[in-house]
Structure 1
Amino acid sequence: MKKKASRKRQTHVHEFEGSTKLAEEGADRHNHRFAGVTGPVIRSGNSHIHEIDLSHTDFLDHFHNLKKIKTGPAIPVGNGKHVHFVTGMTTQNDEHRHQFNFATLIDRPLV
């Protein structure tokens, strides 16, 4: 007897882009830029969140990762659309880390 393949229903994702906060002092003071797409919906209470797992920011003689970052719950913006607020810290590299906060772009912007 063949087992039926289970199919999980695909859900939406969000694009995002942002800049880290400044780190280090003097001539070494700098920030990084990043962009990507979240993972699919993760149910959370009566809302949902998404996970961000970005392997590289831009490169300024080093880069950072945004690993296993969770968004906040959905924030309605009208017409059935929503965004998510994200706050966190990059991985450490070159003996420092960067804080960041940003909002995702809306889900399905053209639909």
Structure 2
Amino acid sequence: MINNTISDFMNSLDDFSDLQDSNCDCRRKKCKPKCFKICECDCEDKCEDKCERQRHVHEFLGSTRLATYVGGVHNHRFAGVTSQAIPYGNSHVHKISVNTDYFSDHFHGICVVTGPAIDVGGGKHVHLVQGFTTVSECHKHSFIFTTLIENPIQ
């Protein structure tokens, strides 16, 4: 079930390829209906909607699964903060881009999009993340983790 959901989601990522600086239309001095980040235009009258607010982020940390290469069996650690929330269906997702720690003369990149929000009660949620690192030293690692709860002290 999870693999199908993630597969469907990954196939829809092309919808998010134009999320860069196209959120504002300065000629009409208003934001486009689906804003995914803070407006960056020089409009005198900026919108007072989603464009003006930063959406939430999540912290994450984890370790890759073990892999074998010339230097032996090993894994890597990583940590960071996700992108702001990106609306997706009735939920939202986040982008993650981070490098692992440096071990035995190499590191790996991790560049994925989380799954949709998973409710954990109390109005809080996490996101499932799974995938593979980039290849380095002729090997890659798999990983699976969840993000931390957004703003856990509120």
Say whether 1:80 aligns with 2:120: no
How many equivalent residue pairs?
109
If the length of structure 1 is used for normalisation, what is the TM-score? Answer: 0.90
Say whether 1:66 aligns with 2:110: yes
In structure 2, C-alpha distance between the alignment counterparts of 1:96 and 1:26, rounded to whole Å: 10
Match of 1:110 in 2: 153
Cα distance, 1:6 vs structure 2: 4.0
Taking only aligned residues, the RMSD between alpha carbons, in angstroms, comes to 1.9
Say whether 1:33 aligns with 2:77: yes
Identity %: 54
Higher relative contact order (CA 8 A, sep 6+): 1
Match of 1:59, SS state, is coil
In structure 2, C-alpha distance between the alignment counterparts of 1:50 and 1:41, rounded to whole Å: 5
Give CA-to-partner distance per residue, 1:8-63, whole Å, 9 cap, x none.
22110000000001111686111001000000001100000000011x21111210
Structure 2 stretches lacking a partner, 5+ long: 1-41
Say whether 1:51 aligns with 2:95: yes
Between Structure 1 and Structure 2, whose CA radius of gyration is higher? Answer: 2
| Moved segments of 4+, more than 6 Å | none
If the length of structure 2 is used for normalisation, what is the TM-score? Answer: 0.66
Cα distance, 1:5 vs structure 2: 5.9
